[in-house]
Each structure stands twice: as C-alpha cells, then as structure tokens.
Structure 1
Amino acid sequence: MPRSVVAVLFDFGNTLAAHEPLAATVGRAAAVLDGAAATGLDGAAYAAEVEAAAHAADELRYPRDLDASVWRERWHVLYGCWDHRIPGLGAEVYRRMHDPAEWVPYPAVATTLAALRRAGVRVGVVSNTGWDIRRVLRHHHLDVLVDEVLLSYEVGEVKPAVAIFRRACDALGALPETTLMVGDDPVADAGAVRAGLRTLLLPGAPVGADNGLGAVARMVANG
C-alpha cells in the first residue's frame, strides 16, 4: 500500500523557529545604543505601537510580503517609530529581527526533519515574508534537511492563496492529497485546506518551549 503522506510543508515563523518577543528585542537594542535612555523604556508599549501600525489599513496597502525592498523600507519605518527617543533604534531592532542567530528552532525541529528525511518524505518550507529565511535554516544546519523553500516575495503568491500551496506541492513532486501542511496561523496556513492538503495547526509557543511539532513524524509514520 502506498504511503498516504509523501511530503510535508512547514511554515517558518512560530512553526519551525521563534524569535523572542519584540518588547524584549527593543530593550536589548536600546541598551546597546543608549543605556541611559533605555532605562525605563516601555518595551511592551513599543511593541504594541509597532503591531498596531503594521496592521493598519494604510500600512497594509504596501506589499511587504511580495517585495523585498518594500519589506525592508516599511519595517525600517515601523521599527523606527521611537527613533525620536533613541536615534537608530529602528535600524538596530530591524537588524536583530533579521539576524539568523536570534531565531531559535523549536526543540523537536531537527529530530523531526531528520526522521522525515530517513523515511523518504519530501520537506518544504512555505513562508509569507520579504526576507530570505534560508539564512536561518543554514545558520542552524537545517537547510540540509529541507528540499524546497518557497517564499512569498520570490514566488509572487501569499498564503492563504491556494496557488502557493499548489506550487509547493509541484516543487516537491507531490499531490495535494498526499501532502501535509504544518503551521500556526489559522488564516494563512489553513488556506492549505482549500488547496486539498491535510493541515495541522500548532499552538503558538515561546522560544525554547515545545510547540508539539514532534507529533508530525509520528503522524506521517502512522499514515
């Protein structure tokens, strides 16, 4: 009997790897730039302001996930909302948010990807982003366990569009019905269901916590 799952697609952020909360990142960035000004800085307020601005209707007109230059420009603007308090803060936050060493794979990622590789299951990563997250995979030596990486800004499609999931299946040489999508976003990643893929949504988990990804290899092994 043929194996029911021959390929697995993973989201990247908060599925394979996590970054510390923005509130913590801005605190560390501020301390490097201006220790005195960083004292008493309200990282939670900064993070809330950035989050609100990033999802405002006027901001969403910019195709951040479809153009690397737009991504860089807009996130520098968004992270720079407190540059009047600490000059250069936005640029330092941006650098840290895109530093591969600042992204931490979840505990079961390496063992899960290795198990899928041994089982002959093809693995892809599908991410809505405007920067090359392959750098993170290479930094943590996970790139050798991934067959294909599809990034929205490179393929011109953004999840939850059916097209990006179908394109990922084609890249892996798998049919949608024999492919499992694993993600954390109930909107973007659940779009795989409309593309005909079985879909597993994992709970959000902080850096270092178990997000349940280890269940993927067991699910595939059990058909």
Structure 2
Amino acid sequence: MTIDAVLFDFSGTLFRLEEDETWYGDLTWPDGRAFDVHEKAEIMRRMTASVGQIVRFDAERQYAWDNRDLDPALHRVAMLEVLRKSGVPTDEHAERLYARLVDPMQWTPYPDTATVLELLAAQGIPVAVVSNIPFDIRPSFAARGWDRSVQAFTLSYEVGAMKPDPAIFQSALHALGVPADATLMIGDSAEADGGAAALGCRFAQVDPVPTTERPEALLAVLRGHGLAE
C-alpha cells in the first residue's frame, strides 16, 4: 500500500536540544569542580529522555513524572527534581536550564528537516508532528516558515494522551484524514514512537544523535519508502 501521510516525532527526530557553553558556565560541584563534558552531556540526556525513569522520586514527584507530558505544571515539578538530583547545584541554575528546555526557539533542527518537509509538501503528502511534550513547539516551525508544511501538531499536553498510547496517534490520523495502514511514523524511540504500529502504521527509527552527526537520516527513511530519490 502506498504511503499517504507521514507522522514525525519532534525531539531527537526533527529537532534536538543542543547546548552551548553559556548553559553551564558557572555550574560547579560542591567541591568547586566544574562540570566536565560527560557530566554536561548526561544532564542534557536526562532533560530530553523520552522514555525510562531517570531518578527516584517521592510519591508526589513520581506522579508528576508519570504525567509530565500531559500538564506543563507537572512537567516543571518533575524536571526540576531531575536537575537537582543530577547535580545542578542551585534552584536558580535548575530554573535557568529548565527555561531553555521549554523554549521552542532553543531547539536545533536536523540538517535535513527542511528538505524532508519540502519534499513531502511537494508531493501533496500531509504531515503531522506527534510529540510527548508539555509546551507549544509550533514557533520552532513558524520561525522558519516550515509550519506551512505541517498540517497538524498533535501534542500530548493538548490531546491528553502520551505515546505509546494509540490514542495520540489516532488523534493525528484523524486530523490528517488518513488510514493508519497508509501512514509512516518516523521517530527516535521504538518504545514510544513505535506505538503507532499498534494501529497499523509503518514505523521507521532514527538515531537521536547530535545534529552534526546525522545529516541525512530522515532523507534516507524517505528514500527507503519511495518518497524521495
């Protein structure tokens, strides 16, 4: 069956949160030692992990963690606790890092994001972005003029369901008006994004590596499904 629509994940698929030195310039451990490159990378990984529990929580914060992508307030509670338990030394530092996490303009697109959106638009293939996320990512696309190539944004905190719950994928399919068996879901997590397969969607996985290390993975997926030369 032909592919009539494509669903994309956001974090680690179309965009990635990538820091620079200004993020961590004054972060130090209690003994005064600065965070090294591996410790900084681990904090970033914990800030953007889509699945798996990263730290232990009390009952209140466990609830916030389990429901973080359904409610912005719960997300803030959970992620500030993750940052504190990851060694971020003060509430001020944690608040500053958290503010960057939820700022859509801080996210960096992968090199081929624009190309794949343009290719699909040129073929009249509708696109939805399906994301477990507690904030509006539309500005990331609108600032680059890419919102014209996305027919639907299906965000967990807006629809009340998180991947891999089939309900979030069903919401995207309904918005596009396409059947599941004619739809391709592209994401970086087999556990979360692969949930689309329960409805009959095809699934392709990409690696959420730094953007400089993944110049054409999205294009390769389209080529593999006959959607690009």
| Residue ranges of structure 1 left out of the alignment (5+ in a row) | none
- Check whether the contact 2:128–2:151 (CA below 8 A) recurs between aligned residues: yes
Paired amino acid for 1:196: G
Paired amino acid for 1:177: D
Paired amino acid for 2:163: K
Q: 1:92 Cα deviation (Å)?
A: 1.1
Aligned residue runs from structure 1 range 98-177, under 5 A: 98-177=102-181
- Check whether the contact 1:147–1:172 (CA below 8 A) recurs between aligned residues: yes
- Check whether the contact 1:80–1:91 (CA below 8 A) recurs between aligned residues: no
Aligned residue runs from structure 1 range 48-67, under 5 A: 48=42, 51=46, 54-56=54-56, 58=58, 59-62=61-64, 63-67=67-71
Following the alignment from structure 2 to structure 1, what is the Cα–Cα distance between the partners of residues 41 and 220?
A: 32
- Check whether the contact 2:188–2:206 (CA below 8 A) recurs between aligned residues: yes
TM-score (norm 1): 0.82
Paired amino acid for 2:95: A
- With over 3 angstroms needed to count, the CA separation of the structure-2 counterparts of 1:38 and 1:7, relative to structure 1, is farther
Aligned residue runs from structure 1 range 1-223, under 5 A: 4-20=2-18, 28-31=22-25, 40-42=34-36, 44-45=38-39, 48=42, 51=46, 54-56=54-56, 58=58, 59-62=61-64, 63-81=67-85, 82=87, 85-86=89-90, 88-210=92-214, 212-218=217-223, 219-221=225-227
Q: Which deviates more, 39-48 or 116-125?
A: 39-48
- Check whether the contact 2:69–2:157 (CA below 8 A) recurs between aligned residues: yes
Q: Secondary structure at the match of 2:193?
A: coil
CA RMSD of aligned residues (A): 2.8
Q: Which deviates more, 150-159 or 85-94?
A: 85-94
TM-score (norm 2): 0.80
Q: Which residue matches 2:49?
A: none
Following the alignment from structure 1 to structure 2, what is the Cα–Cα distance between the partners of residues 98 and 173?
A: 30
Q: Which deviates more, 172-181 or 202-211?
A: 202-211
Q: 1:68 Cα deviation (Å)?
A: 1.4
- With over 3 angstroms needed to count, the CA separation of the structure-2 counterparts of 1:29 and 1:189, relative to structure 1, is same
Q: 1:38 Cα deviation (Å)?
A: 7.8
- Check whether the contact 1:66–1:152 (CA below 8 A) recurs between aligned residues: yes
Paired amino acid for 1:212: A
| Residue ranges of structure 2 left out of the alignment (5+ in a row) | 47-51
Identity of aligned residues (%): 34
- Check whether the contact 1:108–1:213 (CA below 8 A) recurs between aligned residues: yes
Paired amino acid for 1:56: R
Q: 1:146 Cα deviation (Å)?
A: 0.6
- Check whether the contact 1:54–1:60 (CA below 8 A) recurs between aligned residues: no
Following the alignment from structure 1 to structure 2, what is the Cα–Cα distance between the partners of residues 38 and 132?
A: 37
